[in-house]
Structures are given as C-alpha cells and as structure tokens.
Amino acid sequence: MGDFNLALVIVAIVLCIIVFVFNVYLLVNYQHPDDKNQAYFPKFVVVLGLSVAAISILMLPADVANRQACRHAIYNGACNLTLPMKDLWLAIYILDAVLVFFIIPFAMFYYEGDQDKSVGKRIGSALLWVGVTAIVCALVLGILYGLVGKVDFTIRHLSSSTASFPSSFDFSSNNECINGAKTCSAYLTSDTSEKTWTMRTTFPEYVVALATIVGSVLFTIFGGIGIACLPLGLIFSFIRRPKAVITRSQYIKEATELGKKAKELKKAADALHQEERGGSKGRKWRKNVKAVEKELLQLEEDVKLLEEVYPQGEKAETAWAMTILGYLAKLVLGILGLIVSVAWIAHIVIYLLISPPFSPFLNEVFIKLDDVWGLLGTVAFAFFCFYLLLAVIAGAMMLGMKLVFIAIHPMKWGATLMNSFLFNVGLILLSSISVIQFCSTAFAYYAQATAAQEIFGHTLQSLRGIRYLYKYNVFQIAFVALAGLTFVYYAAFGWRRKKPSGRGSGMFSVLLLPPRRGNWVPGTALDVT
C-alpha cells in the first residue's frame, strides 16, 4: 500500500509538470505578436489559471485512485497515510475562486489600462476596481454565511424488534436473519421518524459552494449546448465541406465582395475610434463595438472558407489534399464525440433523473474497466470529465459567435491578445468547479467515499437555501433540455452548406484599427490579392 501511495504522488507531480509545460506551449503559440516580450504578469496568470483548471479536473480521478489505495487495508489507520484530498480540494477551489473574482479581473484592468499612464497609476486604477469588487464580494459572502451558512441533513431513526438467539440456526444468503424472519433488519420505522440535523458548514466549503452555484448556471447553459454542438459541429462541417475548387473568376468575384465589406468595416471602425477619442462611449457605442466585432469574425470566417475552395501557390494541390484530410478527421472525431455525448445524456437520464436510478450505467463500465486493469476505469473516468469541460468551452464559443450581447473574446492561433486569454481562462476556471461537482454527482456510485463526494455530494446538496436546486435536479433537467434543443437546431439547420457571404475579411488590403490595449476596437490587417 505504501508503494501505491508513493506511485500516486509521483504520478501527480509528473502530471502537474506536464500540464504546466503544455499551458506554456499554448500561451507561446496563441499569443498575439504585440504581446511578445511584455505583459508578463497577465501571462503568468493565464498559465496559472489554465494549470489550476486542468489539475482540478484531474483531481477527481486522483481522488478515486487515492481511495483505492486503502481499500484492501488490514488495519484501521491505513487511510491516514494517503493524500489529504479534502484539504487539497478546498485549497484548489479557494485558489480557483480567488483567481476568477480577484486576480484575473486585476490582470485585465491592468492590461487594458491606458498606455499613456504610468505603471503606478495603472496598478492603482486596477487595484481600485478590484478593491470595490472585493468589498462587495466580502459583504455578500459574510452576510450569506452568517444568515444561511448552514447545512440541513435529513435523518431517519431506524428501529427493529428483537428475538431470542436460538441454539442453532442456518445462516445463508437466503436466510440472513434469525428464524427466517427479518427481525434483524431495521425496517420498522415510519416517515414521522424523519428529523433534520442542522450544523454550520465551514467558511471555505461555503465559498466553494457559492462559486459552484455561479459556475453551475454557466455550465448548464454552455455545457448543455456544447455537449451537442461539439460533435455535431464537426460532423456537419464535413457535410458542408467544399467538394471541389472554384474557378479564378468565381474567386475574383467573391474576393471583390469581401473587399467591399472590409472597407465598410474600416469606415465603421474609424467612426467608433473617433467617438472613443471624443469621450462618447455610452451604451450605443459599446453595442456598435460588439456588432463590429461580430462582423469582423464573420469576415475572417468567410475569407478562410474562400481560401479553402481556391488554394494558391506552388503547393496548391497539397493544400487541397490536406484540406480534405482535415475534414475526414473532423468526421471521425465528430462520430466518436457523438457517441460520448449520447452516452453522457443517456447516463444523466437513467441515473440522475429517474428515481430510483434505472441503472448505474457508466459507473458499472468504469468499475469493470478497473477489473480489467487497475487504472483503466480511472482513465476512462478522467476522459469523460475532460470531455464535459470541452463541451462547456464549445458551447461558450458557439454562443459568443451567435449573440451580439455576449462579449466575444476569440482564441486564435498566433493572434490572441492577453485580455481575451484572461477572459477565457476565467470562464474555464468558473466552469471547471461545476464540471467536477456534476461529475461527482453523475458518477456517485464509482466515486463513492471520496473527499469530492463529501464536499460536493453531501455538504453542497444539503446547503440551506440552494439544496432544492439539487433536490429537484434543476441543473440536470435544464442541461438535457438545452442539449435536446441544440440537437434539433443542428438537425434543422446544420446541414446547410455555407458559402462566402461577402461579409468576410482576412486577406484584403484594408487596415482596420490596429490592436491596442485600453478600450480598443479589435482589428486586423487585411491584404488584397
């Protein structure tokens, strides 16, 4: 057992190092050229936030493995030698909450501060905004904790009758009690024997619980949509793929239309820039900025599609072949993802929404995989948890592209500014809390007797004021409903092939507002060819 615990610690350390290195790789390759060799503090926050999100997802499988370390122990104190998972859970999620509500907002305020101001003034301005946020959060948390920071556990008094112990009796699976009567079973009780046992939860657990509620709202919306759009988006992307290259005349016609739209966007961006300089930045200005952002993203998407159907250069045939292979890869990944999504939704329905559960389903699958090889079920368990987080990200991206009133912070290879990085990291961190809570509930049979089960299963679901959200499965029902609506949406509209709309951008020689920090209008250099 000691060797198993040592191996678990070594694996945990190695995985943390791998996660950190991978996140640094993502930062280096996704960052905008304007942010190279500067903005080191926001970069540190990005790497730290991504690492915390990934490690928090990996901690649930580690919690299960940690529980198995003392499953076959022969003395009572064996489990005291395993990892202190409850303390680790509270530490990682307190850090998660601090990053989401304080450090990331500070980094964003500092990064977007006026470049004409000194470093001290930018830090002071960022601290002022974060300080106001901290005071409000502290007051809300303190008042709520003082008033309703308690858990209400429902308990039932059990009793049974007694019988004289006979001189001999046959004890077997068919006859587990004395004289064949179930007098040793504590079944002689009524509903009136139910009582409520109230106790005050710890403040760290209460902070985790409230952060989970906030994240659960985002998780339900983004995850419910993403669980369907993640695989179906890949499959319908293959269905809508270009079947052949277009002619040069068609390319020139489409490029001309996109160039006109790019010039219109330049005029709109210039007008918004003039309003910004004049100090006119009201609600209408912000609405117009988001509209320009949406049109710009659509512009770039159209250009990418146009470049696909008319590859140029000496390696045009190779580029076309790689495009086809890319769409085939999307089809394969989409089919695999669809299987996982259907398995997730089926598991939620038959294990969480039906009472009593119709079947443990995936719980049994993981247990049987563990019987095949010690960590196979744990690996599959981790994969399903990670897939749920990917679904949340996919849903957020989809809504951000479709709705103007949601702040759009796209992640682009080699062109992502730090404020967009920070925004998306905050979203991932906030959602990761709910992903873990959701997984610990959905796989309660497999993850039973773990520290996560104690925090997210018992305390959170018995917390006064919010217990009914979990008692009546509000989040699970909304999740399945949104997933179903998204499936219907893709079935109705997803098959339609998209063509360049003339609203695109990308390669036309119009220079929209160059990216700059502060209250900026996003732009990009567009080359006309």
Using DSSP, state whether 529 is helix, strand or coil: coil
Residue 525 binned pLDDT confidence (cut-offs 50, 70, 90) = very low
Pairwise pLDDT comparison (489 vs 68), residue with the higher score: 489
**Lowest-confidence segment of 323-327, 332-336, 406-410, 419-423 by average pLDDT:** 406-410
The mean of the pLDDT values for the chain is 75
Nearest Cα to Cα of residue 502 among 291, 261, 292 = 261
CA-closest candidate to residue 309, choices 255, 256, 246, 241:
246
* Residue 456 exposed, middle or buried by CB count within 10 Å (0-12, 13-18, 19+): buried
Q: How confident is the model at residue 168 (pLDDT cuts 50, 70, 90)?
A: low
What is the rounded CA–CA span in Å between residue 363 and residue 434? Answer: 19
Residues 65, 416: Cα–Cα separation, whole Å: 37
Q: What is the pLDDT of residue 339?
A: 94
Rounded CA Rg of the chain: 28
What are the pLDDT digits (tens) for 252-266? 888 888 888 888 888
Q: What pLDDT band is residue 502 in, cutting at 50, 70 and 90? A: very low
Which pair of structure tokens corresponds to residue 410?
């796209």
Helix and strand totals (H; E) in the chain: 16, 4
Q: Which helix (H) or strand (E) holds 527?
A: none
DSSP alpha helices (H): ranges in 348-473?
Answer: 362-372, 376-402, 418-442, 451-452, 467-471
Least confident of 297-306, 417-426, 510-519: 510-519
The answer, yes or no, to whether residue 279 has pLDDT greater than 60, is yes
pLDDT in tens, 18-30: 888 888 888 888 7
In 3D space, the residue among 316, 158, 333 whose CA is nearest the CA of residue 245 turns out to be: 316
Q: How does pLDDT run across 443-467, given as a tens digit for each residue?
A: 888 877 677 766 666 666 677 777 7
Domain boundaries, the chain: 3-154+192-241+316-494, 248-309
Lowest pLDDT segment from 138-152, 190-204, 364-378, 405-419: 405-419
pTM, entire model: 0.72
Provide CB contacts within 8 A for 124, sequence distance 6+. none
The secondary structure of 130-190 as a DSSP string is HHHHHHHHHHHHHHHHHHH-EEEEEEE-------PPPS----SSS--SGGGS-TTS-----
As a whole number, mean pLDDT of residues 482-486 equals 91
Whether the link from the prior residue into 356 is cis, omega within 30° of 0, is yes
Residue 400 tokens, joined: 């951000």
Tokens of 215: 């994240």
Q: What is the spatial distance between Cα 242 and Cα 311, in angstroms, rounded to a whole number?
A: 12
- At 504 the pLDDT is 38
**Residues 44, 110: Cα–Cα separation, whole Å:** 14
CA-wise closest residue to 141 among 89, 213, 71, 198 = 213
**Residue that is written with structure tokens 């103007």 in the block:** 404
Residue 177 pLDDT? 57
Predicted local distance difference test score (pLDDT) of residue 355? 78
Q: What are phi and psi of 195, to 5 degrees?
A: -135, 160
Beta carbons within 8 Å of 281's beta carbon, 6+ residues apart: 275, 519
The answer on pLDDT for 188 being more than 70 is no
Cα–Cα distance list, 112 to 48, 107, 122, 396, 422 (Å): 20, 9, 9, 23, 11
* Res. 116: pLDDT tops 80: no
Angstrom distance (rounded) from CA 100 to CA 104: 6
Task: Identify the helix (H) or strand (E) that includes residue 195.
Answer: strand 194-200
Is the confidence at residue 226, as pLDDT, over 70? yes
Lowest mean pLDDT among 387-391, 499-503, 510-514: 510-514
Query: Which region among 91-95, 365-369, 445-449 has the lowest average model confidence (pLDDT)?
Result: 445-449
pLDDT at position 342 over 90:
yes
The angle formed by the CA atoms of residues 370, 345 and 213, to the nearest 5 degrees, is 95
Contact yes or no for 50/428 (Cβ under 8 A): yes
Q: Residues 434-444: pLDDT tens digits?
A: 888 788 888 88
Residue 334 confidence (pLDDT)? 92
